[in-house]
Structure 1
Amino acid sequence: MRFEVLGPVRVCGDQGEVAVPPKPRALLAVLLAARGKPVTVERLLGELWPDGAPSTATATLQMHVSALRKVVGDRVGTAPSGYRLDLSGATFDAAEFEESHDLDLWRGDAYEGVAAGPSVAAASARLAELRLNARQEWAQRALAAGRHVEAATELAGWVAAQPTAEGLVKQLMLALYRSGRAGEALSTYDRTAAALDDLGARPGPELDALAAAVRRQDPTLDRPAPGVPAQRNRFIGRRAELDRVIDLLGTARLLTIVGPGGAGKTRLSVELAREVAADHETVHVVELAEHREGPLENRLAAAAGIREEPGTPMLDTVTRHLGGRVLLVLDNCEHVLAEAAKLAYTLLATCPGLRLVATSREQLGLSGEVIFTLGGLSTPAPGATDPQSDAVRLLADRVAAARGGTGLAPAEQAVAAELCRRLDGLPLAIELAAARLRALPLSEIVSRLDRQLDLLTGRSPVARHQTMRAAIDWGYELLDIPQQELLRRLGVFAGGFDLAAAAEVAGLDPLDPLTQLVDRSMVEWRDGRYRLIETIREYARERLGPVERASAYGNLVVLWRTRLAVPPPVDGPAHTAWLAGIGADHDTIVSAVDWALREGDPAEGLEIAAAMWWFWWVAGRMAEGLGWLGRALSAASEPTALRARALRAAAALARNSGDLVEARRLGEEGLATFRALDDAKGMIAALNNLLITAQAQEDYPASLEFGREALDLAERESDARMVAAASNNTAGTLRCMGRLDEAEELFARALTGFRALNDRRGEAAALSNLSTTDRRRGRYAPARFAMREALAIYTELGIAEGQLDAVEGLAQLDVLSDAPENGLRLLVVAERERSALGAPSFTPDEIADRDAAEAAARAALSSEQVARAYRSASETSLVAAVEELL
Structure 2
Amino acid sequence: MLGPTEVEAGGAGVDLGGPLPRRLFTALVMAEGEPVSDGRLAEAVWGSDPPARAAAALQVYVSRLRGAFGSGGRDLLERTGSGYRLRVPPGAVDADRFVRQVERGRQLLAEDNAAPALHAFTEALTWWHGEPYADLLAGPDVLAARSRLVELREVAIEERLAARLSTGDAPGAVAELDAAVQAAPYRERRWALLILGLYRCGRQGDALAALRRVRGLLAAELGVDPGPELQRLERLVLAQDLRLLLPETPSAAPPAPAGGLAAARGFARPLSSFLGRDRELTTVARLLAERRLVTLVGPAGVGKTRLVVEYAATLPDADGPWLVRLADVGQPEVIVHAIANAVGLAQVAGEPRQALRDALAGRAGLLVLDNCEHLVGATAELTIELLAACPTLRVLATSREPLGVDGEATLTVHPLPLRAGDGTDGSAMALLLDRIRAVRPGWTPTDEERALARQVCAALDGLPLAIELAAARARLLGLGEIAEYLHDRFALLGPVARGSLAPHATLQAAIAWSVELLSDDDRELLLRLWPFEGGFPLEAAEAVRPVGSAGTSALESLSSLVTRSVVSADTTVTPTRYRLLETIRAYCQAIDPDPGDTRRAHASWVRDLAAQCTADVRGQRHGGRALRILDRELPNLRAGIAHDLTHQPEHALRTVGLLDWFWLRNGHSAEGRRLIDTALRAAPHAAHANRARAYLARVISAALFADEAEVRRMFEEARVAIGEPADDEHRALYASLQYYRAMFWLTTGQVQDSHDAADEAVAIGTRLGLDWIRIAGLRTRSAALIHLGHVAAGEAGLIDTIEQAQRTGQSWSAGWSELALALSYLNRAHTDPSRAIDALCRALERFRHQEDSVFTLAVLHTGVHALVLAGRPHDAGQLRAAVHHHAVRLGFRPDLLRRFGSPDSDHVVDTALGPDDRDTAAAEGAALSWLDMIDLLTSARTAPG
TM-score, structure 1 as length reference: 0.50
Higher relative contact order (Cα pairs below 8 Å, separated by 6+ residues): 1
Q: Which has the larger radius of gyration?
A: 2
TM-score, structure 2 as length reference: 0.47
